[in-house]
Structure 1
Amino acid sequence: MSQSAHFNLTARVLHWTMAVMILTMLFVGFGMVSTISLRPILVSLHRPLGIAILLLVIVRLWNRLRHPPPPLPADLPPIQVFAANASHWLLYGLMFAMPLIGWSMLSAGGYPVTMFKGFNLPPIAPHDPTVYAFLRGAHTWLAFLLLGTVLLHLSAALFHAWVRRDDVFPSMARGPAAMPPPVVSASDSNDENDDERVEPPRD
């Protein structure tokens, strides 16, 4: 399967949509542990947002497998190539793991995972206070890891956009530019007219 110089439209829409959702999720998550008055509102937003991210990352991975991402610049140092690939797969892993661990944590604690009024997700872990405590700690530490990975990803994007000024950031920021119409020179036009000219019949 050939690689394009830009991410396809589906990948770009999912990337920027999920970027907003993940940043919102991180702020909501940290706000839940630092406020009491707004906690019920933040919790009601945190749970369905996490499940939405889980569903979208499945679509995003499916799209990535069908449409390979554009290649990195050939002159990029190997250590940066490794860091770019590793951070991308770490992000995918965290986007999968965080919602599933949160869902399992709530199940182990005996809490409902409410998507909207009257609809709860089924539990995916047995009710166990020990498991709940372990998963709660894991969820917290992975949230810090996700925040660090997002900041690293953002720093790398700005480095490519402002320092290297290569095609890495534009490949996700926009689609390929439209091909300009071919320019016909005066000589080419005259040649075409000569070809189209019909000579009169000779006696």
Structure 2
Amino acid sequence: MRYEPAPVYNAPARLLHWATALLLLIQYVLAWTMPDMHRDTQPIGLIAWHLGLGVAIFLLVLVRLLWRSAHAAPPEPASLPPALRAFARYTHWLLYALLIAVPLMGWANASSRDWPVSLLALMPMPPLSPTGSPIGHALGDWHRNFAWVLLALAGLHIAAALFHRFVLRDNTLTRMLPKHRKQAAPKQ
């Protein structure tokens, strides 16, 4: 039986995926190391970096969605059961939704605090809520809670990739790796 490698994501899709993952990792490190925010907290240092990186993640995800809308994902392994296929599809779209919603909530919260928000300290961004907005303030709590949900979902995404690699032994993980290598034929 000849082994056929699974189709891979194109290079821009892989680059956008791994750039998002790297920025998200840096963002969580910033979030855990920045000072707690109170009424008189100023958006300097790590907080300013957190805000700017959040805008970068938001814009990067928009680029990913635009790219994805014009370039179809490679087909999933035919051996994948329909229930897992549906679960993977819904999980991916939920990841996209959270990668958009969580930064927007943080941005709106910063705007309600009258904090300037800029793209990596280079380009000022418009406020998303008026200064003092109760909704903007409440979105800060939602931002924190949904950030935990996003982290859990990202962990599930990583666990699923490892499950595919080490339990199902299919090529799902290798479709997103920088270099696609042929695996040995499955043992019979």
TM-score (norm 2): 0.82
Give the 3-state SS of the residue equivalent to 2:131 in structure 1: coil
Query: Is the helix fraction higher in 1 or 2?
Result: 1
* Cα distance between partner residues in 1 of 2:169 and 2:93: 24
The question of 1:125 aligning with 2:129 is answered yes
- Map residues 49-64 of structure 1 onto 2, 5 A cutoff: 49-64=53-68
Q: Deviations over 1:36-80 (max 9, x none)?
A: xxx942112111111111111111111111111112222222221
> Which structure 1 segments of 5+ residues have no match?
179-203
For residue 158 of structure 2, what is the amino acid of its counterpart?
Answer: L
Higher relative contact order (CA 8 A, sep 6+): 2
**Please, which of 8, 11, 20 is the counterpart of residue 9 of structure 1?**
11
Give the 3-state SS of the residue equivalent to 1:85 in structure 2: helix
| Aligned residue pair count | 173
**Please, which of 74, 79, 98 is the counterpart of residue 75 of structure 1?**
79
Aligned to 1:43: 47
Superposed displacement of residue 8, structure 1: 0.4
Give the 3-state SS of the residue equivalent to 2:124 in structure 1: strand
Give runs of ≥4 in structure 1 deviating > 6 Å.
none
Aligned to 2:185: none
> Which structure 2 segments of 5+ residues have no match?
1-5, 38-42, 183-188
Aligned to 1:138: 142
Q: In angstroms, what is the RMSD of aligned CA positions? A: 2.4
Larger radius of gyration: 1
* Cα distance between partner residues in 1 of 2:49 and 2:28: 12
* Cα distance between partner residues in 2 of 1:54 and 1:158: 26
Aligned to 2:176: 172
- Identical columns (%): 37
TM-score (norm 1): 0.76
Structure 2 contact 110–116 (Cα < 8 Å) conserved: yes
**Please, which of 110, 113, 116 is the counterpart of residue 112 of structure 1?**
116
Say which is worse superposed, 103-112 or 13-22, in terms of deviation: 103-112
